[in-house]
Amino acid sequence: MTRRAASTRMAGLWAAMMFALSLMIMQPAAGQEAAAEGEAEQPAARVVVLDTAGSWRVHPVLAPPILDGEDGLQPVPYGPSWISERTAEPGEGWQKVDFDDGGWLRAPARVVNDTPFLARLSLRGTFMVNDPGQVEDLLLQLAYCGGVRVTLNGHEIGRQHLPAGAITPQTLAEEYPLEAFVTAKGELNTYRGRGAEDQRVRTLEVRISNDLLLKGRNVLGIDIVRSPYHRVHHEKKAQGRGRGEVLVLHWGTCDIRRVQLSAGSAEGVTGGGVRPTGFQVWNSDAMVMDFDADFGNPAEPLRPIRLAGARRGRYSGKVVVGSDTPIKGLRAEVSSFVAADAAGSSAAIAAAAARIRYSLPWGSQTVVRPYRGHYPPYPVQVEALDALVDEPPAEVPVREKSAWGDYQAEADDPKPVSGAVAGVWLTVTVPPDAKAGLYRGKVSIRAEGVEEVVVPVELEVLDWSLPDPQDYHTWVEMIQSPDTLAVTYGLEMWSEEHWRMIEQSFRLLASSGSRVLHVPLIAQTNLGNAESMIRWKPRSDGTYEVDFSIVERYLDVATKHMGQPKLVCFWVWDIYMIEKKENARSDHLWLKEAIEARKGFVGKGPLVTMVDAESGELKIEHLAPLAAPVSKGQWKPVMDRLHEIMDARGLRQAMTLGMLNDVRPSKEDVSMFHELSPGTPWISHAHHSVGLDRLLYGVAAARYEANVWSLKFASDPEKPMHGWNNDVLRVEYDRSRGLNSTPPVAWHYMTESNIVGGQRGVGRLGADFWPAIEDRRGALRGYVWSRYLQSSWRNLDIHSHMLAAGPEGPVGTARLEAFNEGVQHSEARIRIEKALIDAEERALLGEEFAVKLEAFLAERVRQMYRGQADFQMNNPHNAVNWRSGAATAGPAWFATSGWQQSSAELYRLAGEVERRLVKKQ
């Protein structure tokens, strides 16, 4: 298929993928129907200035819940320090117009979903007033849980359910009656839908005097403070797994349900409650996902894109563009970067070091806790702007959005205005010779029919240099899928166009330091490969001529574009080759349909690509079973030739065999390959450890494993486990089917959480393993491995994909950028920790500085755990889980935590470590 034909087919597939990968979560309970039109004369429609689903600046404060007990009001104790400490307050003077809220989260008001750990929620809503005297009947309507204080431009205009005076960390809102927590039967009320709001949601209505309005920017400040929980929770504890009785708190007493600021007419006022008309550009945090329903607040200033990093690293920032009409001819250009401080006036970084990409809808992110009845922050279903393409579409279309299932808007809620939305991403690779200091540049954004928008850029280069990605100590394994590319784009396997896309995938993986290459020598494995990468052609004497050209090219393409692989796994065994007719044990890996499919493979050998000797036609056929006497003779020339191929490329030490999973080949099978390739170890992807410190069946070693369990994480931030320093190659495999929907912060800390724990990094991540198989309705829901049930590993199958299907081939994602920056941070951390655990280097650093380093690294662990935490107490055996995947409160807090300053300090300290060691040696 030609590239043009593939692109044509892709255009249709793109739309189908977007539909198939849309965010799907449990919907909130239905609300009451709005009054029918025409029942009575309707008053004139009010103009919405600010609204719940509009653009706000949000700052959450997290702390353990407060519970009324025998000793009075006391915080609920819960384990480690990172969950027991109160996070930072919003800052002095945050209600005033001139307060810099650029470090706060920009999001709809309901972004911090219902959590008992939310102690205080501060929101800033900005709007413009052209003439205070013309504004008519400004009215605030608010629904909330807890207590509230409202200000306009720093002046208090309303307070309810709160004591008088300043709000401090000790301030609590008025308590709720017992009925707010229990049902009529006296049981804890776990329901979160609108029917449960009678006793929980409080309301406030304020008519605002024009005397408080300012010409220009105005700021509405909303400060919500929690109420304590009723003592009935002491009586209604739940049994926790391994924890005895634990408290279960089902709803948050600090929450916002609805907010709307409206005016009697549009005269004199411009708000950010609904999508405005015309073209917009607004700032967005690199660790916050954007969505196709987003819009900016016209009253907010456009701030610089700020980047901070080390030499040889790559760092991303972004703005988002939107319009109520299609955006045509979108184009952005980046300037060079000129030193602005001590780096010297002659220092500069060329524009060629930067790359502009555009984020488009692809996939999803969890925006409310699944199955919890939460109110979504958006009134419509949203798709994440996750796919990063080099060339924007000729037209960014207006995407009409559907309401959330049975979600019902309030009668006076503004109707959502659909829009065209895209992100403009700037990624800078800091040159190895760049001088440390602050650099300034700009991104110029143009579109048809609009004025050019110039976005300032500030790039801080720290005085430390990262190693080359292929020299990273942090272990990363991303698995490339040739079959997914072929199926998605309708390509002939191993055609030149197919190879072009494989190259593109490997190029995209290079910056992560991915280092494991999978080469299936057998067909229809759990990788979803229809063919084997070697082709067998029968000879008249019963032997085979084996073609290795695909294997050799695959090795060469990967090495050229991804870098020298550290491990090359040749798949010679998979689960369909198991010799048992029935499963001999009860194991949750086994799936009924897969067991049935495997019955047809008992007594047969591995599947391979066979070439018909006369016609040249390719067929998938069985070789002899590995246990058969002829099998060794069939496989010996294969292994001998592989040794030659790997030797010629300097990769013999990287050669491994696969694939061990929860089910393993027999001792006889392992022994045969050990005899044919002495010393070649195996790889395992499984739930539990295969045992890297012992021989498999006492015959062959396992060199590397990616595990779901058998993992260790540093529960105490003060006591890192230095998993990066392990002798064995054990990494985490996150098998979650919802992994792609986790927020950027989870990807950002994926490697650091492991190297601080007991693992070397992460593995068994899919690269381009996105869904490519259509279901009966034509939606793309199936993965290429789902074609071969006999090779199903059930909940060990690969569901993650770090890349996205672009119109012209695979492209990167926002998640991949967050992941890559996290790997770079892991490298900086490793450099510091190496010096701390080495007695001689620690002495050179000096104990005072070493203690300072340890305190900083411990705080990063607290930030890492909080940023991913569930912050729920609705589950008796897992009240708080920093690896929950569906967390919303933790990521919302993380965006306000100063993560970029922490990253810059990490690099600065790594540089200081190296300078001290060099100076004193």
pLDDT tens, position by position, 515-524: 999 999 999 9
Contact 707, 661 (CB under 8 A): no
The pLDDT > 90 percentage for the chain reads 78
- Residue with tokens 């067909």, as numbered in its chain: 523
The pLDDT confidence band at residue 513, using thresholds 50, 70 and 90, is very high
The token duo for 315 is 């760092």
pLDDT of res. 5: 42
pLDDT of res. 330: 98
Q: Is the dihedral of CA 174, 178, 184, 186 positive or negative?
A: positive
Q: How many CB atoms lie within 10 A of CB 709?
A: 11
The pLDDT confidence band at residue 533, using thresholds 50, 70 and 90, is very high
Residue 907, phi then psi, degrees to nearest 5 = -65, -40
One-letter amino acid at 305 equals: I
Which of 96-100, 249-253, 366-370, 706-710 has the least mean pLDDT? 366-370
Whole-number Å distance between alpha carbons of 577 and 599 = 10
3-state secondary structure 19-35: HHCCCCCCCCCCCCCCC
Which residue spans within 364-509 are E strands per DSSP?
Answer: 385-389, 395-396, 420-429, 437-446, 453-465, 475-479
pLDDT of res. 78: 77
This prediction's pTM? 0.94
pLDDT of res. 16: 42
pLDDT of res. 746: 95
Q: In the predicted model, is pLDDT for residue 494 greater than 80?
A: yes
Average of per-residue pLDDT across 798-818: 97
The token duo for 436 is 């440390």
Average of per-residue pLDDT across 667-681: 97
The pLDDT confidence band at residue 44, using thresholds 50, 70 and 90, is low
Q: In the predicted model, is pLDDT for residue 21 greater than 50?
A: no
Under DSSP, the state recorded for 699 is: T
The token duo for 767 is 């690269």
The pLDDT confidence band at residue 482, using thresholds 50, 70 and 90, is very high
User: What does each C-alpha distance from 607 to 299, 547, 593, 619 come to in angstroms?
Assistant: 64, 16, 20, 10
Q: How many CA atoms lie within 13 A of 386 on its CB side?
A: 27
pLDDT of res. 411: 60
The H-or-E segment that residue 762 falls in is strand 761-766
843-854 pLDDT tens trace? 999 999 999 999
The token duo for 276 is 């405005």
The pLDDT > 70 percentage for the chain reads 89
Contact 89, 880 (CB under 8 A): no
Which of 69-83, 275-289, 625-639 has the least mean pLDDT? 69-83
Under DSSP, the state recorded for 541 is: T
Whole-number Å distance between alpha carbons of 120 and 465 = 40
Q: In the predicted model, is pLDDT for residue 816 greater than 90?
A: yes
pLDDT of res. 360: 97
The pLDDT confidence band at residue 318, using thresholds 50, 70 and 90, is very high
Average of per-residue pLDDT across 32-36: 37
Q: Which residues of 816-846 are buried (b: 16+ CB within 10 A; e: fewer)?
A: bbbbbbbbbbbbbbbbbbbbbeeeebbebbe
DSSP-derived pairing of the beta strands 535-538 and 607-611: parallel
Q: In the predicted model, is pLDDT for residue 3 greater than 50?
A: no
Q: Is the dihedral of CA 661, 666, 669, 673 positive or negative?
A: positive
Whole-number Å distance between alpha carbons of 468 and 213 = 55
Alpha helices in 463-622 (DSSP H): 482-489, 496-509, 549-561, 592-598
Cα angle 450, 454, 455; round to 5: 130
Q: What is the four-CA torsion angle of 673, 679, 680, 684, rounded to 10 degrees? A: 90
Radius of gyration of the CA atoms of the chain, in A: 29
Q: In the predicted model, is pLDDT for residue 112 greater than 70?
A: yes
pLDDT of res. 6: 43
The token duo for 488 is 């998605």
Contact 248, 876 (CB under 8 A): yes
Cis bond leading into 659, ω under 30°?
yes
Q: In the predicted model, is pLDDT for residue 371 greater than 70?
A: no
**Angle between helical axes of 482-489 and 3-20 (0-180°, round to 10):** 100
pLDDT of res. 35: 37
pLDDT of res. 581: 57
pLDDT of res. 36: 41
The pLDDT confidence band at residue 235, using thresholds 50, 70 and 90, is confident
Q: Is the dihedral of CA 12, 14, 15, 20 positive or negative?
A: positive
Contact 207, 137 (CB under 8 A): yes
Q: In the predicted model, is pLDDT for residue 246 greater than 80?
A: no
